[in-house]
Structure 1
Amino acid sequence: MSQDHPIVPREKLDFDLEGDIPKYWFGGDAFKTRFFDAMSTIFPEGERYFISCVRDYRDQVSDPKLLAEIKDFMRQEGQHGIVHSLYNNRLKAQGIDVDALERFTHNMLFNVLRKYLPKKQTLAETAAAEHMTAIMAHSFFEKKEVLAQADPRMRAMYAWHAMEEIEHKAVAFDVMQKVAKVGYLRRVWAMAVVTLGFNIHSLLTTRYMLKVDGFKGWQRFKLMAQGMWWIFKPGGLYMPILGHYLQYYKPGFHPWHAGQMRTYHLWLDTFNRTGDPIQAGEVLHAAGA
């Protein structure tokens, strides 16, 4: 049930985010690109939220191993926010009001959820979000065709983020279970809320971005309909990981019950050998089924 690798914060990585990445870097597909871009605008404030929700209970942790994992979890999440902020600067140059999007996310997370919900609830939502991001790593990289048309630099950025989500996928959950003593009903309710909220937020932001890009009403409707079919259809972006997602609702679940991602060590070994996250991302992608 335990992981066989440490949580390793990796800093000052170069994804060439200031390079000639195309506007529609996902094979020229406007929806797919903007859907991933929408997620990127959520991450900086989202990562700060996760850190703060785990930090609420850090002083109550007596296990030195869990304390060390919390420290490295926070460093990884902080770095994720930094890198996505760098990429989001590209979106600003394309006319996307990233500042307004981040203000909305900040207000929702910190001025509503953190202000009015119990700390147990916000920690449970953090644990749920961490499970979702970890299983998305499986969706994005276990099948080669999912990101086959993505720009290698963007694919590498999401690969690095995904692999680190795999590394620390149990930290918030362990704090929730062992320290906050969150019960089953709160845990699964939080997952339902996070699932709905994340997808609504991402899709509404995607639609806004397509409007900024100049797509008219009918064009946006068509792009959104085709894109949502790509996400939710049988064999699409989400359906292959449905079973993994639903495991969270089982009594007695723990994130490490599902083990590791099959190709995680290929990414890790390549990165440790070369220090190049783009090369590591390419090796990971090539190993997909």
Structure 2
Amino acid sequence: MQPRRYWNGNALRTRLFDGLSLLLPAGEEFVIRAAQDWLDTHPDADPRLRAEAGRFIREERSHQRAHRRYNAELHDAIPVAREAEQGVTAAVGELDRLGLRMRLALAAAFEHLTALLSAEVLRGEAWVDDTPRRECRMWRWHCAEELAHQHVAGDLLRSMGPLPGQRILALVLASVYLAGDAFSLTWTLCRHELRQGFVGRRELLAQAGRFAWRAFPGLCRIARGWGGQWLPAAR
């Protein structure tokens, strides 16, 4: 029987999504600022698109509040989590130096990648347990809304006319950022569990193997979806 600290079945899967939660508030702030800057600089744009952008911002704010509350509890349980989240926030803040068109391209890429993962979370229990636990319900609610508004950042970008190759570059950069940060944060949290003796190295490796086996079909679908975004952008 797993300790109560592992809401998602075991240490590996729990800390994977805990790591993603540490990443999300800064990422959501980035896409919110990009959408808000578009609203501020395009007062005469299509009213329907402006309304979509406003709804997008409100939903991202609600996600941000939920994850900040969750992360505050995580900071208390795992002291290294606070420093890890601060590092991510500082790194994402550097992206604000980019121009609005590139920031929107990155926002659209982040939203696309998040939607691919969200679809897998909602598909079954390979990623997140389908239980009434608060954390599971939070993730499923978040993922459902991500799928519903995934198109908005892309629509804002298209209204400005992305530069040739900009979407490809943004997708590659966003993929590197997300994969690198997700791995780093998950490892930071798992290393804490190992040092505290909450889980053994062999047990953690076994959990990783089982997760990889169960998630492999979904990872293939994510890879196809990523390529599906690449090819249209390349034409």
TM range (shorter): 0.7 to 0.9
Give the drift of 1:234: 7.3
Alignment of 1:1-289 (within 5 A): 22-27=4-9, 29-58=10-39, 59-60=41-42, 62-110=45-93, 112-115=94-97, 117-148=98-129, 152-179=133-160, 181-215=161-195, 223=204, 227=208, 230-231=211-212, 235-251=216-232
Give the drift of 1:122: 1.8
Identify if the C-alpha distance between structure 1 residues 195 and 233 changes in structure 2 by more than 3 Å, giving closer, same or farther. Answer: farther
Whole-angstrom distance in 2 between the partners of 1:246 and 1:178: 23
Aligned-partner residue type, residue 84 of structure 2:
L
Identify if the C-alpha distance between structure 1 residues 148 and 212 changes in structure 2 by more than 3 Å, giving closer, same or farther. Answer: closer
Whole-angstrom distance in 1 between the partners of 2:103 and 2:209: 28
Superposed CA offset, 1:70-105 (max 9, x none): 111001001101001111122122123343223212
Identify if the C-alpha distance between structure 1 residues 227 and 121 changes in structure 2 by more than 3 Å, giving closer, same or farther. Answer: farther
Aligned-partner residue type, residue 95 of structure 1:
I
Aligned-partner residue type, residue 199 of structure 1:
A
Name 1:262's counterpart in structure 2: none
Give the drift of 1:38: 0.2
Whole-angstrom distance in 1 between the partners of 2:50 and 2:28: 18
Aligned-partner residue type, residue 37 of structure 2:
D
Contact 2:131 2:137 in 1 (8 A): no
Superposed CA offset, 1:139-168 (max 9, x none): 111234443476632221111101111121
Whole-angstrom distance in 1 between the partners of 2:213 and 2:162: 31
Identify if the C-alpha distance between structure 1 residues 223 and 189 changes in structure 2 by more than 3 Å, giving closer, same or farther. Answer: farther
Contact 1:184 1:251 in 2 (8 A): no
Superposed CA offset, 1:87-146 (max 9, x none): 112212212334322321221111x2212x333222111100101111212111123444
Identify if the C-alpha distance between structure 1 residues 66 and 220 changes in structure 2 by more than 3 Å, giving closer, same or farther. Answer: farther
Deviates more, 1:117-126 or 1:140-149: 140-149
Whole-angstrom distance in 2 between the partners of 1:80 and 1:221: 35
Deviates more, 1:144-153 or 1:164-173: 144-153
Whole-angstrom distance in 1 between the partners of 2:154 and 2:218: 25
Whole-angstrom distance in 2 between the partners of 1:225 and 1:108: 32
Aligned residues: 229
Contact 2:122 2:144 in 1 (8 A): no
Whole-angstrom distance in 2 between the partners of 1:170 and 1:119: 17
Whole-angstrom distance in 2 between the partners of 1:34 and 1:174: 34
Q: TM-score, normalised by structure 2?
A: 0.85
Superposed CA offset, 1:28-68 (max 9, x none): x1111100000001111111111111222222251000100
Aligned-partner residue type, residue 42 of structure 2:
Q
Deviates more, 1:167-176 or 1:100-109: 100-109
Give the drift of 1:245: 2.4
CA RMSD of aligned residues (A): 2.8
Identical columns (%): 25
Name 1:16's counterpart in structure 2: none
Whole-angstrom distance in 2 between the partners of 1:108 and 1:224: 29
Whole-angstrom distance in 2 between the partners of 1:212 and 1:221: 15
Aligned-partner residue type, residue 82 of structure 1:
R
Whole-angstrom distance in 2 between the partners of 1:226 and 1:236: 17
